[in-house]
Amino acid sequence: MSSMFKVHILGCGSATPTRRHRPSCQIVDYRGNLLMIDCGEGAQLEMRRQGLKFSRLSHIFISHLHGDHVFGLPGLVSTMALHEKGGRLTIHTFGEGIKILKPLLDYFCRDTPFEIVWSEVKPGQTMTLLDTPSLTVQSFPLYHRIPCSGYLFREKPKARHLNGEMIKFFNIPIRDLAALKAGADWTRPDTGEVIANERLTTPADPSRSYAYCSDTIPSQLVAEAVKGVDLLYHEATYADDNACKARPRGHSTAREAGEIAREASVGRLMIGHYSKRYKSEDALLEQARETFGGEVIAADEGLIVEV
Amino acid sequence: MSSMFKVHILGCGSATPTRRHRPSCQIVDYRGNLLMIDCGEGAQLEMRRQGLKFSRLSHIFISHLHGDHVFGLPGLVSTMALHEKGGRLTIHTFGEGIKILKPLLDYFCRDTPFEIVWSEVKPGQTMTLLDTPSLTVQSFPLYHRIPCSGYLFREKPKARHLNGEMIKFFNIPIRDLAALKAGADWTRPDTGEVIANERLTTPADPSRSYAYCSDTIPSQLVAEAVKGVDLLYHEATYADDNACKARPRGHSTAREAGEIAREASVGRLMIGHYSKRYKSEDALLEQARETFGGEVIAADEGLIVEV
């Protein structure tokens, strides 16, 4: 079951693409539906490289309006228009993003075989942008040089598992099963006896959650917004050696990313948005581990992390 | 001397980037000055890969407003703004291109350390866009589904080489040498005797020329516009197997590219803008050679061709 909710890294470098890392882009694969977060230049090529189907991409969430988080969008949408993709593609971005990006797509991507829907994200707010029977996606404020939002992917509580033998033993009709899955007790129609739900079901699988935080300074408010998620992606642009650069540029160090992860009691931390100066992520990883104390993963193009 | 005028291939695929080819982009390196033609997605990364310096790029010529020829522009300009590049960057494109691209760069690339100059190319016309003491760049019409221009890079006639021994023999003063280089005869001040230029100089190096034709159907008008160039880049989107697709899509076959090259009596032909269906350029090359009869080069990312 765990492979039904995973994160693909398509780009985890900072502003300038290098030979080692592309600019920011991730894809959350939730039960085969692809949800993209940020869309740096080259996103379409990286999707193709990783065998991710354009036809399955339905939503794109843009964190903020710096070029390294959006310049892949026109190329991606143009290429999708040449492929089998139908239905709709919803692009979630600030009002300003709609103002600047919509004319561009209107011009270069006329006659797409799918509908492009623009969904306005309000900076500085927590908003539910997607609400399906099994998953919600919420935006929450990050704290960067310009308005910026993080995104929280959270599975809804799942159904309890029916105990087939007990269902059979009590001869419970199908019409009552949904209530059992939701946790209700069951009353025998013949005797009026109440059978506790725990006798008829086993616990639901845990609901998992993933939070994306890039770009941001370290903030208690962010730690609260991502409290207890199973997997946290937090930017770690700098190591200790360039810590002084982080704050004026609206970024975090790896050490600070680890602190936020610890304060938020997350399951695992993934770091990324590396400054181009680093030829290896070893120091960043080590420093994030020191403060977090738990498992830290270094994002890398092609990496797939199960949530 | 020949290495002072060369063409770098940064992308030679058609609309959809693949693992084999990037979308259209070339750089003409003329005596260390870099002039870009088209700017498909990933141009900045390919410049970096090929060791081409952002600081030396001064002009970008856009052939037409399809995404695969322009989507690399905002990322390239953003990255250049983070580098040492100063002076100015001139972007040559149609009025419509200025209308759609300028707001984008104004938004995402504020405060560039260099000036961005927009130069309007008129579709359907021959225009001189750059005129230096040694090189001119002209636009000329191509014939695609939407307005499209080719670009012709032509060296100006060069100075004849002075014959040092003869200059010394006649004791010709320095002030007269420029006229000799330009081809003038020389009159002895003492005797009035006219010394023929051919005795005092040897012929100038040939002036070389390069023409870029993508995207276009094959056209006599194009053949005339590029008459006699040393190197012609002509699109060859399809081989014979898909020849029927070429005309409705505003493209040429490799065979047709060869015909245009032959009719224009060019020195060498370089083909490119390959449809993504081709896993090898062998058939395209062979068919272009059949009709051209001369040397045909298959463009490829990283290839450097001396003009």
B45 closest CB neighbour out of A17, A104, A109? A17
Q: Kindly report, residue by residue over A41-55, the tens digit of the pLDDT.
A: 999 999 999 999 999
B100 closest CB neighbour out of A48, A68, A107? A107
What integer pLDDT is reported at residue A265 of this predicted model? 98
Contact between A67 and B44 using a beta-carbon 8 Å cutoff: no
What integer pLDDT is reported at residue A83 of this predicted model? 79
- Residue A3 confidence class, pLDDT cut points 50, 70, 90: low
- Residue A1 confidence class, pLDDT cut points 50, 70, 90: very low
Q: DSSP assignment of B162-227, as one string?
A: E-HHHHHHHT--GGGHHHHHTT--EE-TTT-PEEPHHHHEEPPPPPPEEEEE-S----HHHHHHTT
Q: What percent of chain B has pLDDT over 90?
A: 93
Distance from CA of A8 to the nearest CA of B (A): 19
> Is residue A59's pLDDT more than 60?
yes
Q: What is the mean pLDDT of residues B176-181?
A: 94
Distance from CA of A181 to the nearest CA of B (A): 47
Q: Which of B68, B111, B185, B190 is catalytic?
A: B68
Residues of B in contact with A76 (CB under 8 A): none
What integer pLDDT is reported at residue B3 of this predicted model? 64
Q: What is the mean pLDDT of residues A165-191?
A: 94
B67 closest CB neighbour out of A23, A49, A74? A74
A→B contacts (Cβ < 8 Å), by residue, are: 15-19, 23, 41-42, 44-45, 48-49, 65-68, 71-72, 74-75, 78-79, 82, 100, 103-104, 107-109
A16 closest CB neighbour out of B71, B79, B104? B79
Q: What are phi and psi of B220, to 5 degrees?
A: -55, -35
Rounded to whole angstroms, the maximal C-alpha distance in chain A is 74
Contact between B17 and A65 using a beta-carbon 8 Å cutoff: no
Contact between B45 and A45 using a beta-carbon 8 Å cutoff: no
- Residue B254 confidence class, pLDDT cut points 50, 70, 90: very high
Summary mean pLDDT of chain B: 95
Q: DSSP assignment of B265-303, as one string?
A: T-SEEEEE-B-TT-S-SHHHHHHHHHHH-S-EEE--TT-
- Indicate which residues of A carry an active-site annotation: 68
**CB neighbourhood size of B113 (10 A):** 12
pTM score, whole prediction? 0.90
What integer pLDDT is reported at residue B111 of this predicted model? 83
What integer pLDDT is reported at residue A294 of this predicted model? 96
Q: What is the mean pLDDT of residues B180-190?
A: 94
> Is residue A26's pLDDT more than 90?
yes
Q: Kindly report, residue by residue over A71-91, the tens digit of the pLDDT.
A: 999 999 999 988 767 889 999
Q: Kindly report, residue by residue over A292-304, the tens digit of the pLDDT.
A: 999 999 999 999 9
Contact between B18 and A100 using a beta-carbon 8 Å cutoff: no
Q: What is the mean pLDDT of residues A130-153?
A: 97
Q: What is the mean pLDDT of residues B135-159?
A: 97
Distance from CA of B71 to the nearest CA of A (A): 6
Q: What is the mean pLDDT of residues B286-299?
A: 97
Q: For chains A and B, what is the number of CB pairs under 8 angstroms?
A: 84
Contact between A44 and B17 using a beta-carbon 8 Å cutoff: yes
Contact between A41 and B75 using a beta-carbon 8 Å cutoff: yes
> Is residue A10's pLDDT more than 70?
yes
Distance from CA of A46 to the nearest CA of B (A): 9
Dihedral sign (CA A91, A92, A97, A98): positive
**CB neighbourhood size of A224 (10 A):** 11
Q: What percent of chain B has pLDDT over 70?
A: 99
- Which of A45, A48, A50, A105 best tests the B interface by mutation, with the highest count of B CBs <10 A? A45
Contact between A71 and B68 using a beta-carbon 8 Å cutoff: no
- Residue B2 confidence class, pLDDT cut points 50, 70, 90: very low
Cα of B258 vs its chain's centroid, Å: 18
Q: Which residue of B has its CA nearest to A67?
A: B108
Helix H, strand E, coil C: the string for chain A is CHHHEEEEEEECECCCCCCCCCCCEEEEEECCEEEEEEECCCHHHHHHHCCCCHHHEEEEECCCCCHHHCCCHHHHHHHHHCCCCCCEEEEEEEHHHHHHHHHHHHHHCCCCCCEEEEEEECCCCCEEEEECCCEEEEEEEEECCCEEEEEEEEECCCCCEECHHHHHHHCCCHHHHHHHHCCCCEECCCCCCEECHHHHEECCCCCCEEEEECCCCCCHHHHHHCCCCCEEEEECCECHHHHHHHCCCCCCEHHHHHHHHHHCCCCEEEEECECCCCCCCHHHHHHHHHHHCCCEEECCCCCEEEC
Cα angle A118-A123-A125, degrees, rounded to a multiple of 5: 105
Tell me: ipTM over 0.85. yes
- Given the DSSP bridges, would you call strands A209-213 and A135-143 parallel, antiparallel or unpaired? unpaired
Q: Which residue of A has its CA nearest to B40?
A: A75
> Is residue B142's pLDDT more than 50?
yes
What integer pLDDT is reported at residue B82 of this predicted model? 85
A42 closest CB neighbour out of B42, B70, B79? B42
> Is residue B17's pLDDT more than 80?
no
Closest among A164, B273, A225 to A180, alpha carbons compared: A164
Contact between B78 and A107 using a beta-carbon 8 Å cutoff: no
Contact between B74 and A75 using a beta-carbon 8 Å cutoff: no
Q: Kindly report, residue by residue over A189-234, the tens digit of the pLDDT.
A: 999 999 999 999 999 999 999 999 999 999 999 999 999 999 999 9
Distance from CA of B56 to the nearest CA of A (A): 18
Residues of B in contact with A17 (CB under 8 A): 44-45, 48, 75, 79
Inter-CA distances, B81 with A2, A34, A154, B77, B85, Å: 43, 33, 38, 6, 7
Distance from CA of B97 to the nearest CA of A (A): 10
